[in-house]
Structure 1
Amino acid sequence: MDFKLHNKVAVVTAATANIGRAVALALAAEGVVLIAVGRDQAAGEKLVQSALQLGATAVEFVATDLTQPTAAAAILKTASQYGPIEVLVNGVGGNAEQGFFVESSPEKWADDIDLNFGTVLRLSHAVLPQMIAQQSGSIINIGSTAGLTGDYMLAVYSAMKGAVHSFTKVLAKEVGQHGVRVNAIAPYATIGKTADDFSLGSRFHPDNAFFTQHAKKLTDYDKVMRQKRPALLKPFAEPTEISALAVYLASCQASFVTGQVWSVDGGALL
């Protein structure tokens, strides 16, 4: 199938790990001009080489923290060397904190809100004027099944992923008249299999104890509640199973698809 993405400028955030990395490489294989964004310079350099080997027309890595107000301008400046942005994948997300909401702090709420939702708002706002001017573009937001059902001990994260889903629908209504499409993907737990899938900042990196740090204080009830609904097909999704859908949504083959939240959950939410 010809996705007609060759030479199109695609910006992918969180491109150095897990889902974001898989999406960046899948788009590279379609011949895009890839503007990959992440914080891990070493992982970014590896990504550039892999993307070029897969067939990207050109690749630029922008090392920046999207929670900083100057990040969007830096990304647009780099992309402008190649032409208008046709594809934006808002892949940044994660957990600033894990625990009971009653024990949380406003500072951690703010971190989760900005990481998972503020980054989506800022970069979407930055690219939309040119997409509207050119009367074309595809924005793909990476949400989560947590935004559909709520993950135990991740109250604010779940709420922000729900916000990403709602924002996707409203934005699609606003910009559809300009030929711009906006969709979201809501993955189930997705974990890569190789060391390259985990940048230093990834919560899944072997040196990051994010998901085990509270294990000793959990009651039996908590352990049961923290278990996700089991997927029917296998325990976890693989990043490439998310990236395949992202390529479709970015392409002309999805020209009549907008405002949708696509669950990739292995049947877990049935």
Structure 2
Amino acid sequence: MDLGLAGKLAIVTGATANIGRAIALELAREGATTVLVGRDHEAGERLADHCVQQGAPQAPFVAADLTDVAAPERILAAAEALGPVDVLINTVGGNVAQGFFADSDPATWMADIDLNFGTVLRMTHAVLPGMIARKSGAVVNVGSTAALVGDYQLSVYSAAKGAVHSFTAVLAKELGQHGIRVNAIAPYATIAQDPAAFSTGSRFHPDSGLFSHGAASVAEEDRAIRQRRTYVGRPFANPDEMAGMVAFLAGDRASFITGQIYPIDGGALL
């Protein structure tokens, strides 16, 4: 299906791993010039080559950490050297720790909030003046099913993703008069099968130890509370299943859709 993305210029943050990587490749297959943003330079250069092979006219990689407040303007400058930005995909996110809120600390709260919400605010704020001036654009944010139900032992992460969802709805109201659409997806647990999909900055990279450390301290009661099932014959989503919806929302075929948050959860929230 032609989604109307050919010839457009898109920025994809968090592009070097998992969902972000799949989105970048999906946009490339649709013929979009794709500006790739991530922290892992080696993974970024590999992805850039792959995107061009898949059909992107150009796919420059910008090494940047979105928690750096100066990063968005540098990313925007690199993108606008190729043309006006038509699409922004805010994919950066993750949890910096997991555990009970009572045992947490303010530094961890702020890190979770900034990684999941602050990065979205800063990058979106950077691209909006150009989109408003051209009366055209699409923003797609990556939220989480955690924002809809609250993931156990991920209190601040869940709240920050909830902020992403609310921000999506309000921004759609504000920007509709300027011809700009804003939507979001809410992914369930999504894990790539390809080891190349995990850059060094990814929380899923074996060296991060985030999930193995948490698993070692999970009590049986905690496991029971976390228990959830899908209805599609497997427990996890594939990143490509997120990328297809994002590409659709970013393209012209979704021109009458704005302010929506789409759970992609395999029925887990039923």
1-side partners of 2:248 and 2:219: how far apart? 43
Shift of 1:103: 0.5
Number of aligned residue pairs: give it: 269
2-side partners of 1:51 and 1:198: how far apart? 16
Read off the aligned partner of 1:106 and give its amino acid letter.
Answer: P
Aligned twin of 1:249: 249
2-side partners of 1:239 and 1:103: how far apart? 32
Deviations, residues 39-64 of structure 1 (Å, cap 9, x unaligned): 00010011011000001011110000
Instruction: Answer yes or no: is 1:2 the counterpart of 2:16.
Output: no
Shift of 1:195: 1.2
2-side partners of 1:218 and 1:142: how far apart? 27
Aligned partners of 1:6 and 1:57 also within 8 Å = no
Aligned twin of 1:37: 37
Instruction: Answer yes or no: is 1:200 the counterpart of 2:200.
Output: yes
Report matched runs for 1:26-175 at 5 Å: 26-175=26-175
Aligned partners of 1:35 and 1:79 also within 8 Å = yes
Deviations, residues 206-254 of structure 1 (Å, cap 9, x unaligned): 2222112133333211121233x21111211000000000110011000
1-side partners of 2:216 and 2:81: how far apart? 51
2-side partners of 1:219 and 1:29: how far apart? 44
Deviations, residues 158-205 of structure 1 (Å, cap 9, x unaligned): 000011000000000000011000000000000001111100111111
1-side partners of 2:105 and 2:269: how far apart? 30
1-side partners of 2:126 and 2:6: how far apart? 23
Shift of 1:114: 0.2
Aligned partners of 1:34 and 1:59 also within 8 Å = yes
Aligned twin of 2:229: 230
Read off the aligned partner of 1:204 and give its amino acid letter.
Answer: F
5+ unaligned residues in a row in structure 2: which ranges? none
2-side partners of 1:199 and 1:192: how far apart? 12
Judge which range, 211-220 or 115-124, deviates more: 211-220
1-side partners of 2:217 and 2:257: how far apart? 45
Aligned twin of 1:182: 182
2-side partners of 1:54 and 1:183: how far apart? 25
1-side partners of 2:215 and 2:18: how far apart? 24
5+ unaligned residues in a row in structure 1: which ranges? none
Q: What TM-score do you get using the length of structure 1 for normalisation? A: 0.98
Read off the aligned partner of 2:27 and give its amino acid letter.
Answer: L
Tell me the SS of whatever aligns to 2:206.
coil
Aligned partners of 1:153 and 1:226 also within 8 Å = no
Q: CA RMSD in A?
A: 0.9
Aligned partners of 1:67 and 1:115 also within 8 Å = yes
Read off the aligned partner of 2:133 and give its amino acid letter.
Answer: A
1-side partners of 2:168 and 2:139: how far apart? 9
Task: Give percent identity, aligned residues only.
Answer: 58
Q: What TM-score do you get using the length of structure 2 for normalisation? A: 0.98
2-side partners of 1:196 and 1:91: how far apart? 18
Tell me the SS of whatever aligns to 2:183.
strand
Read off the aligned partner of 1:230 and give its amino acid letter.
Answer: R
